[in-house]
Amino acid sequence: MPTPRRRPLITALAAASGLALIAAAPAPAAIIEVGKIAVDHTPSCPASPCLAVSRTTGYQAKVGADRGLMVVPQNGKIVAWSITLGKPGDKQIEFFDENLGGPASARITILRPGKKLVSVVTGQSTVRQLQPFFGTTVQFPLGRALNVRKGYVVALTVPTWAPALAVGLGNDSSWRASRGKGTCNDTQVQTAQQTLGATIQYRCLYRTARVTYSATLVTTPTRPPPV
């Protein structure tokens, strides 16, 4: 009696195995621009008054319906950051340089948020000088990527000043700064967070404005589930 032919069954099993392998493929890394929104906002300078972020660490809380704008959506590494800068005039630059500690500068800071608006500094980039890039959007690649976890916040630290503040937005746009309660208007006092492990409460909320920066996240690839 001839042996039954099994080729269709073998082919079907092979196809099923192939589908299982495809289903178990790892998710590749993704590139996400944290803080990027559809509408570009122009910093106030060189308008009068020319308003700038000064001597603090801050992060955008929301812009319209975009809440948690600077919250990291997935585990990964921050590999670059970008900032859109106004173009202040010579007299405006001179005023800020003399009153806010020197030439315009900034860096990004990674925060691990806790309760009651308290955050811990977990990482920082190097400080970059901004004046050569006034009037442009510039991206700074990081020599050493910063590790982040889902839920961390990417903040902008400004040791001196930065013409990176768009104003006149709706009341549903706001950003927070590392200034203490009752000192939100003391914009010349140094409150920039520049020490790893430092803990501070981000009590000051500024409405109708946006800090014009973002950060480039490369997410951590995920492993496939066991088959």
Query: What span, in angstroms and rounded, lies between the C-alpha atoms of 8 and 64?
Result: 59
Q: Is 227 helix (H, G, I), strand (E, B) or coil?
A: coil
pLDDT tens track for 80-91: 999 999 999 999
User: Residue 26: enclosing H or E segment and its boundaries?
Assistant: none
Residue 213's nearest CA partner among 58, 45, 31, 24 is 58
The pLDDT confidence band at residue 222, using thresholds 50, 70 and 90, is confident
Q: Is the pLDDT of residue 227 over 90?
A: no
pLDDT tens track for 19-73: 444 455 567 889 999 999 888 899 999 999 999 999 999 999 999 888 899 999 9
16 Cα distance to chain centroid: 43
The pLDDT confidence band at residue 138, using thresholds 50, 70 and 90, is very high
Query: What span, in angstroms and rounded, lies between the C-alpha atoms of 135 and 117?
Result: 33
Mean pLDDT computed over every residue of the chain: 89
What Cα–Cα distance (Å) separates residue 201 from each residue in 1, 22, 152? 85, 47, 15
The pLDDT confidence band at residue 10, using thresholds 50, 70 and 90, is very low
Q: Is the pLDDT of residue 79 over 60?
A: yes
pLDDT tens track for 141-167: 999 999 999 999 999 999 999 999 999
Q: What is the pTM of this model?
A: 0.85
151: left (phi over 0), alpha (psi -120 to 50) or beta: left
Q: Is the pLDDT of residue 11 over 50?
A: no
What pLDDT score does 25 carry?
59
